[in-house]
Every structure is written in structure tokens, then in C-alpha cells.
């Protein structure tokens, strides 16, 4: 606990109160997320953030970027697919505009 306090004091001295407040909040959130089941309480907040970012997408490249970079409260959705394959698939779907798509 003293280690955390010392680190916080150092951040306060070097970066100011605003940065300390932000880092403190993130620290508490990360600790809460490590508790079993707490992530599920935050799912609505995470979904809202994802929807907000998704509304800003204008291109296929931006959609792929979001899928690989989205991280909210230490929860990410990074796909296991190769980036260029996902991009190519989205280009084909945009071109063909199928009524149904199966995986």
C-alpha cells in the first residue's frame, strides 16, 4: 500500500493533480475489474463506448482499426483473424452486398 501511495505522490509532484486523479480512477477500475464478475456490471458502459466509436466509422479501414484497437476499461475485442483478410472480406461484402452471410 505504501508503494502505491509513493507512486501517487510522485505522479502528483511531476504531473499534477489532474493526471493523478485520472490515473487513480484507472487504478481503482483495474482493481475492480480483477474481481470475478465485476466486468459484467460494466458491460453496458463498454457497449455504449463501442457504439459511440462505431458511429464515427466512415471507411472499411476505420472499421478494421476499431476492431483491432478497441479497449475500454481493460476489455478489448481484438479479433484473431489476420488484418488483411478481415479487410478483404469487408471489401467483398461491401461490393456484393449479400442478403445473408454465414461463417
What span, in angstroms and rounded, lies between the C-alpha atoms of 86 and 61?
10
Q: Does 3 share its domain with 50?
A: no
Q: Does 57 share its domain with 101?
A: yes
Q: Does 21 share its domain with 49?
A: no
Tally of structural domains, the chain: 2
Helix axes 60-69, 83-96, angle to 10 degrees: 140
For position 55, what pLDDT does the model report?
A: 92
Q: Does 23 share its domain with 56?
A: no
Q: Does 48 share its domain with 75?
A: yes
What span, in angstroms and rounded, lies between the C-alpha atoms of 8 and 26?
12
Q: Does 45 share its domain with 26?
A: no
Q: How many CA atoms lie within 13 A of 103 on its CB side?
A: 3
- pLDDT digit string (tens) for the chain, length 103 residues: 577 777 877 887 888 878 878 888 778 777 777 766 666 777 788 888 899 999 999 999 999 999 899 988 777 877 888 889 889 988 988 888 888 877 6
Domain with 83 in it: 40-103
Q: Does 77 share its domain with 54?
A: yes
What span, in angstroms and rounded, lies between the C-alpha atoms of 103 and 93?
13
For position 94, what pLDDT does the model report?
A: 87
Residue keyed to cell 466512415: 58
Cα-Cα-Cα-Cα dihedral sign, residues 26, 32, 38, 39: positive
Q: Does 26 share its domain with 58?
A: no
Q: Does 102 share its domain with 70?
A: yes
Q: Does 47 share its domain with 10?
A: no
Taking the model in full, what pTM does it have? 0.57
Cell of 6: 509513493
Cα-Cα-Cα-Cα dihedral sign, residues 74, 75, 81, 86: negative
Amino acid at each position: 500500500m505504501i508503494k502505491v501511495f509513493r507512486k501517487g505522490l510522485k505522479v502528483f509532484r511531476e504531473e499534477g493533480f489532474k493526471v493523478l486523479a485520472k490515473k487513480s480512477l484507472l487504478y481503482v477500475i483495474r482493481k475492480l475489474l480483477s474481481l470475478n464478475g465485476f466486468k459484467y456490471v460494466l458491460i453496458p458502459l463498454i457497449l455504449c463506448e463501442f457504439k459511440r466509436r462505431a458511429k464515427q466509422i466512415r471507411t472499411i479501414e476505420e472499421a478494421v482499426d476499431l476492431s483491432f484497437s478497441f479497449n475500454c476499461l481493460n476489455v478489448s475485442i481484438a479479433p484473431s483473424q489476420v488484418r488483411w483478410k478481415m479487410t478483404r472480406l469487408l471489401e467483398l461484402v461491401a461490393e456484393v452486398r449479400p442478403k445473408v452471410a454465414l461463417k
